[in-house]
Structure 1
Amino acid sequence: MHDDSAAAAPDVARVPSQIGEPAPRRRSLPRLLGAFLRDVFRTRLDKSRARIRVVAFGFAAIYCVVGGRLIQLGMRPDTPDTFKHVAAEAAAAARPDIIDRNGEILATDIRVMSIFAEPKRIIDKDEAVELLTAVLPDVNARELRDRLSSRKGFAWVKRGVTPKEQEEVFRLGLPGVGFLPEDKRVYPNGPIAAHVLGLTNVDNAGIAGIEKYIDDQGLGALHGAGFNLSAADMKPVRLSLDLKVTYALRDELLQGIAKYKANAAAGAILDVNTGEVIALASLPDYDPNTAAAEALDKDHINRLTVGVYEMGSTF
């Protein structure tokens, strides 16, 4: 008896302690899944944040480099090569001569000097405007001040100045003001065949007549691509016109206007065998050397090519 009770005592003593211990709690499947997903999302979010930081730092570095380079270029003065390139593009390009059927020159280029300015090098803009307009009275002071106040590295002061004007501006000794040679179109015979030849603008580009036709045939594209050829490199454009016959025709028309007190007159002489135009004149005409604006006047149209007439009036 003693042995059995003694042997059972330890088991009885352990029962209360086993009953008092809390039973392990089992976590449900949804909670486990939710915890797993939270860990996954947290890990991916951490990785995404790191990538975003790297990308943001890369863009910031690129912007800093580009911005610094732009500031450097903006503060650096134009190099001589850069300025020469800009000036060469601004200068009027050469054009081929226009001659009549006998080789007489109808239109050609001459070399003239033009005055330009480098606004960045001009310290006192008002003083420069005052001095320049004093020797160049036909230059508008307000427009010149606006050009000199711009941030551009090149600005025109006046195109095609006379030798006297060039000398007077040279004596001023203004820093940032210089001279640039360029080509200017001239018509030695004045208004003779003006409607046929047409005219050019201040940049020596054709805007009417044969001059515009020459540009449309490829000269304008060459100039636009940077090929500034000299007149010696280009073959003259030969027309079917005869300068002497054209002069005689115009003179007859002038006499007819004076005799009959007419407002206008026009005439043409053709080669009956080939259909070539030997002479053509329309009055009133204009001198493309000095009165280019008159070419746009309705009274100065070419009445043989633009005028509209009833059929009964042509016979």
Structure 2
Amino acid sequence: MMSLRVSLDGARATAIEKARQRLVVVAVMFGVVFSVMALRIVDLGLFQAVSETRYAAQSFLTPTALRADIVDRHGVVLATNLKTASLYADPMRILEPEQVAAKLSRLFPDLVEAQLLQKLQGNGRFVWLKRKLTPKQMWQVNALGLPGLAFQEEEERIYPQGRLAAHVLGFTDPDGRGLAGVEHYFDARLSDMDKVDEPLALSVDVRVQHALMDEVQRSVDRFSAIGGAGLVMDVRSGELLAMASVPDFDPNEPAASPEQAFFNRASQGVYELGSTFKAFTLAMALEAGTATIASHYDASEPIKVSRFTIRDDHPQNRVLSLPEIFVHSSNIGAAKMAMEVGTEAQQDFLSRLGLLRPASLELAEVGHPLVPDRWRDIATMTIAYGHGIAVSPVQLASGLSAMVNGGDLHPATLLVKSADQKAKADR
């Protein structure tokens, strides 16, 4: 009996020990499972949130692309890039949006607090707050110690010469895309990563540009004009050494200028350029053989065509020689000269000078000439002295250059031409 009790006690002890071991194994397994679950929860709640924030930032933050410099014909820098930074926020990490909006609007008076608050209370993970900060502004933002704010390194386009040649250069948007001028026309070339180290050389000479701009502005002020334009062209190549339009703007801050300041009066504006066209009429008659330097035209009486009357502003009331028609700016003499040449020949001559189509200038801001829908006799006569047709000053300069360089037509260009390119011209 005694031996049986001892045997049962031993079996019971062995069973209890095995049960304890199993419980320990199960407890360890549960502990491992809960640990894995806890780590996964932390990963989802913390690290993945940070990862999503970084992903969101990477999705929206495309740093401003590098961009080639623009220089004048002597290598003077007209446009270049400088490193800067822009401020953005992750609204999901902004704990007190009202406080952040208030502090940032006090730091940057150009930012509207209500608009900032609307951005900071959004459901997205990324929003721009202010672009192109200075180092001092970055330090001031950091000093606020506000979580959820960060900086993105960017490139800022600057124009060291300020307003000089603004209509030639144009400007870019905050992301570095050309919006006007050669910045827009050559946008692909300037942003080509294989050519960012190769400056784009223009035909402009900053010294000539300064002198021209001063003269145009002085003339506008003198006559209280609403605007003015001027250009300097090398008649042997068509290269523009300077081109000015007033009013102008600062390409460093284009938003600060009124809309009318962006209008390029030298290339975009088209005008009835009056008696300057008489040079074309004389050249046309001489080329056609309908007149010689010894030819004379009766300018003693006005010309009446239907309900129109053509008069001279400075009447000489006599027969004028061909040089006298030009010297005394006789509308009557020019009209008679054009009628001898004929309408078709006049159209052909002006077309060959590029006056009936937009100028082939390296700008998007190029105006379309205004010509008669029906080119009747009255149009032939008035166009002879620059009325009834409207062209840009750039077109006028290109056409006149062929009158003084031996008959070679070089379309206006903003690029420096090679010797071979200068040798090619239409006659």
Q: Structure 1: how far apart are the matches of 2:221 and 2:260?
A: 21
The secondary structure found in structure 2 opposite 1:200 is coil
Q: Counterpart of 1:305?
A: 267
**Residue 222 of structure 2 is aligned with which of 252, 259, 265?**
259
Task: Supply the distance in 2 between the matched residues of 1:121 and 1:162 (Cα, whole angstroms).
Answer: 25
What is the RMSD computed on CA atoms of the aligned residues?
2.6
Q: Which structure 1 segments of 5+ residues have no match?
A: 1-71, 223-228
Once the two structures are superposed, what CA deviation does each residue of 1:118-158 show, in whole Å capped at 9, x if it has no partner? 11211221121122222122111122122222222211111
Aligned equivalents of 2:54 and 2:135: distance in 1?
A: 27
In the alignment, what sits opposite 2:101? 129
> Structure 1's 314 and 126: CA in aligned 2 closer, same or farther, altered over 3 A?
farther
Aligned mates of 1:216, 1:94 — CA distance in 2: 12
Contact 2:183 2:190 in 1 (8 A): no
Distance 1:78 1:93 in 2: 26
**Counterpart check, 1:271 vs 2:234:** yes
Aligned to 2:388: none
Q: Give the number of the structure whose alpha-carbon radius of gyration is greater.
A: 1
Aligned to 2:58: 85
Cα separation, 2, equivalents of 1:242 and 1:268:
12
**Which amino acid in 1 is paired with 2:145?**
G
Distance 1:263 1:129 in 2: 43
CA contact (8 A) 1:286 1:292 kept: no
- What pairs with 1:111-126 in structure 2 (closer than 5 Å)? 111-126=83-98
Size of the alignment, in residue pairs? 232
Query: Which position in structure 2 is the counterpart of 1:289?
Result: 252
How far apart in 2 are the matches of 1:121 and 1:313?
70
> What does 1:1-315 correspond to in 2, within 5 Å?
76-79=48-51, 82-83=55-56, 85-86=58-59, 88-89=61-62, 91-217=63-189, 219=191, 229=193, 233-294=196-257, 297-312=259-274, 314-315=276-277
Q: Taking structure 1 as the reference length, what is the TM-score of the superposition?
A: 0.67
AA at the equivalent of 1:205: R
Question: CA-to-partner distance for each residue in 1:33-80, whole Å, 9 max, x for gaps?
Answer: xxxxxxxxxxxxxxxxxxxxxxxxxxxxxxxxxxxxxxx89x941427
TM score, norm. by length of structure 2: 0.50
Larger helix fraction of residues: 1
Cα deviation, residue 93, structure 1: 2.2
Mapped partners of 2:181, 2:253: distance in 1: 17
**1:106/1:188 contact within 8 Å kept:** yes
Please give the alpha-carbon distance, in whole angstroms, between the structure 2 residues aligned to 1:103 and 1:168.
37
Contact 1:121 1:175 in 2 (8 A): yes
Give secondary structure in 2 for the equivalent of 1:279: strand
**Could you tell me how far 1:92 is from its partner in structure 2?**
2.4
Amino acid at match of 1:115: L
Distance 1:177 1:215 in 2: 32
